[in-house]
Structures are given as C-alpha cells and as structure tokens.
Amino acid sequence: MNGNQFDNPYGNFPHDSDSGSVPGDNMNSQGNGSFDMGNDRQPLYYYVNSESTSRKHRRGARGLRKVFALLIVAAILVGTVGTLSLFYQIVPGNGDVVFTLERIDRRNDQNTIQLPAAGNEEKQNGATVREVNPNGPVMEINEPPVPKTTPVARETGGALTIPEIVEKVMPSVVGVVSSVRSLYGTSNYSGTGIIMSSDGYIITNNHVIDNAENISITLMDGTTYDAKLIGRDKRSDLAVIKIDAKNLIPAEFGDSDALKVGDLAVAIGNPLGLDLMGTVTDGIISAINRDVVVEERTMTLIQTNAAINSGNSGGPLINKYGQVIGINTLKMQDYYNNIEGLGFAIPTNTAKPIIDELIQYGYVRGRPSIGINVKTISESQARYFNVPQGVAVYYVHPDSDAYKQGLQVNDIIVEAQGKEVKTASDINKIKEEYVAGDLFTVKVYRNGKYLEITFKLMDEAEIDMNRSSFIVP
C-alpha cells in the first residue's frame, strides 16, 4: 500500500449521541506530526468524542453539564467574504476541568491557502519573511516589584491603579491587520499585538497572521507600518512579526508563575477591528494552569473574566504591576452568546522559549514529529466497524522514518511506547515526552493482526506537511 494514498474505510460513521459524532465525522489531526486538525480533503466540520461513559457518569455531578462553544478570538473578517465563526465544543473533564473542543469553520475550503512549512523560505504565509536574527532580542521576564517602605506602598504592594496600568502598557499595544487572498478576493482580518522591543519586534497569535499575503501594524498614535513575518508556531499559536521602526515603547513582561487566583487582570485589545482600538477591560485571574484541548493538543492557559472579544487575540493580559503576564488567545461562549467572562491567555513563561526560538531561528527546533495525519476512532465507531479503538492513520509522509519502516495508511495505532492510545491527544502526549531522533515504537492493528513498528522521530521543521490553520472571525 502506498503510504501517501488515502483510502478511508472508517469514514462514514453511524450517529453516536453519546460521543457527539455524526455521520461522516472526521476527527483528525494533521500537519507536521503535530496532529493538527484540517485538510483540504476533509469536511469543514470536525467533531470531538467525549470521554468514556463510565467516566462521565462517575464525574457527571462535578463536571460541566452544559455544552459550550469556544471561540478563538483573534481576527475579525472585515473584507469581502463576511463574518466567520470558529466554534469549539466542550465536554466534561475528570475532576479538574479539561476542555475538549470542536471546530466549526463556516468559511469555504476555497478560502484556505496551503502554507509552506515554517523555516527558511523567502516567503511564509505569503508575507515576506525577514531574515532571522541569532543575536536578536529575547523576551525578558521580570519579577514583581519589591514593595517600597512607604505606608502607601506597603499597603498596595507596589500595585498600580487601572489608569496607571493603562498609561504604562497602552503605548506597547498595536493593531495587526492581515490581508488574506482567496478565490473570492482579498479579505482583511484584524487582531492585536504586543511590542516586545524598541526596534520593532512584535508578538501576536499565529492565527492572527495565518495565510496572510500582507501584514500591517497600526500604533496607538495612528502610524502604520508594513510588517514582516519572522516566525510562527501553530502548535502554541504564537508568532513574531517585525516593523522597521525605532524608539518604540516595549511592554514589560512579568512572571506568570507568580500569579494567584483572584489577582487583578487587565486586557487591552482591538475588539471588532481597529475602530475600537485600545479597548480596556478588567477582571481577575479566574484560574491558572487551565488545560484546554485545542485540535487534539493540550494548551495550559490562564483563565480570566476580563472581557476578551474577537479582535483581542495577540493582545496583552496584564497584572496589577503593569506587566504583561499572558497573550490573549481564546474565548468561550455558548451557541446563544449568553456566556461571558471566560477568556484564556497563553502564560508569558510558556511563551518565552517559543518567542526566543522564533526570533533566532524562525521556528521552534527539535520538536518531535512522526510525520502522520490521524483521526480518532471512537468506541462506538470501533464497535460498528469491528476494529479496535485507537487512531487511524490516513496519511504518512514519504520523507518520514515511520513511512520507511512500514507504517501505512489505514493502520490503527492502539499503543505508543507501551502506553494505550485511544485518541490523537493520547499519542501527542506520549510523543512529546521524546525529542527528534529518538526511537519510537507503536503497536498497530492491520488487516486483523497486531504488529509493532519502530522508527525515529523526525524534527517537525524538517517535515513538509500540509498545515491547516486557525481560520477565525
């Protein structure tokens, strides 16, 4: 069997009310061994399977009873296509709330532009890539200030008022507009960015600039610049862009590990586009280390009730000292839009090593990749087709060692490194315990038999896989 060919015997599933699957569901994860969702050969709807029935019954009283939708909150489409929505479904976790998400993309697949792999191309996402800078700036994490000895300082602990926070951080917040070309013309998406250095390095979300032909930056004083893409990382949803400017005011980044639930949280961004640029909202840190499964990959995020709306993605979440401690990225709401105060941000301590790698190399080095695209087979689907529950392989990259060692399309992976695999998230978690170059063994089901295949994990940057994107309003 040719490892590149897709012959899906598991593609038409019966309706499963327990798991939420529907006929023809394709819960898949693809791209660079990252198991990222989306493929131009796949439907635009991707459904998640809930956890096992026994677990749901055991934890149901403490779990979430209601199905929610989670929106990536970055770019609002203001061009010719119309407003889009990107939803995620959430199901109960097992004590700690671990969200599993569903993406519903209302954009036609013709609007999706296939991307080159991140790395050394002259162009990336269509936007010209500036040469990486091994000696470029690094993201500095600052400790909270030491309280002064005056009575007022002792009382406040060095904390600023919200107006003082805004005065300090607002000049470091920018508007980001990405022009995306499709068969229907060019559309503009807007988001937010954070100035990292005085010479023009800016942090934003990957999904804000994904597929961009051109990227422009607007400062708070109205000055606009063309931006160049330095590097992006879909897995963490982070990107670095640069403008040719001097004497910018960089944000001060704080230690996200020092956060406590109940701390003040302030968000600054550009909801619904640049007409509302510089909107300030406030709240508290609602939770820390909140695990959210996005496209079969777990992100550990800060949860806040500060209002985060479409257009805020890539903007700062700020602590009481005026330090950026998170990059806003996700918002949760139900289908009736009556859920508020559930926003999520990438912690700065998580972002720092990724941002530093993007500036120095244009991508994140050493990430392990199997080089496959997979889709989860639910328990009910396994019963229907009389196959084991696991992840079905529907693409094997011909340059991967997994392909050379005999992993095939339609193999069902049931174990990895001796650990049970039932979902793409399972194999991701196992794989990420290793590095590129390590040997990795999977147990697969093929034509009624089980066999083990051992191969070397590849460097994700070396695998030229199709990359799906966060396509968002």
What is the per-residue pLDDT across 329-338, written as a single tens digit (0 to 9) for each? 988 876 666 6
Distance from C-alpha of 365 to C-alpha of 357, rounded to nearest angstrom: 7
User: In sequence order, what are the residues at sequence separation of 6 or more whose Cβ sits closer than 8 angstroms to the Cβ of residue 406?
Assistant: 453
Q: Is 385 left (phi over 0), alpha (psi -120 to 50) or beta?
A: alpha
For residue 124, give the amino acid letter: Q
Q: Would you place residue 427 in the very low, low, confident or very high pLDDT band (cuts 50, 70, 90)?
A: very high
DSSP readout, 299-367?
EEEEEE-S---TT-TT-EEE-TTS-EEEEEEEEEE-TTS---S-EEEEEHHHHHHHHHHHHHHSS-TT-
Which domains, from first to last, does the chain contain?
Answer: 1-34+367-473 (2.30.42.10), 72-78+107-366 (2.40.10.120)
Distance from C-alpha of 75 to C-alpha of 473, rounded to nearest angstrom: 5
Summarize the confidence of residues 428-441 as an average pLDDT.
93
Distance from C-alpha of 74 to C-alpha of 312, rounded to nearest angstrom: 6
* Residues with catalytic roles: 207, 237, 313
Q: Is 169 left (phi over 0), alpha (psi -120 to 50) or beta?
A: alpha
What is the per-residue pLDDT across 42-95, written as a single tens digit (0 to 9) for each? 222 221 122 233 333 333 334 443 444 455 554 444 433 332 333 333 333 333
For residue 244, give the amino acid letter: D
pLDDT (0 to 100) of residue 203: 98
User: Could you give the percent of the chain with pLDDT greater than 90?
Assistant: 51
Distance from C-alpha of 471 to C-alpha of 85, rounded to nearest angstrom: 9
Distance from C-alpha of 389 to C-alpha of 226, rounded to nearest angstrom: 49
pLDDT (0 to 100) of residue 282: 97
Q: To the nearest 10°, report the CA torsion of 103, 106, 108, 114.
A: -40
Q: Which of 127-141, 290-304, 457-471 has the largest mean confidence?
A: 290-304
pLDDT (0 to 100) of residue 471: 25
Distance from C-alpha of 391 to C-alpha of 388, rounded to nearest angstrom: 9
Distance from C-alpha of 310 to C-alpha of 328, rounded to nearest angstrom: 11
Is 230 within 8 Å of 129 (Cβ atoms)?
A: yes
Distance from C-alpha of 296 to C-alpha of 98, rounded to nearest angstrom: 12
DSSP 80: S
Tell if the pTM clears 0.85, that is, is over it. Answer: no
Distance from C-alpha of 397 to C-alpha of 416, rounded to nearest angstrom: 18
Helix ranges (DSSP H) in 111-175 = 151-156, 162-169
Backbone φ, ψ for residue 242 (5° rounding): -145, 140
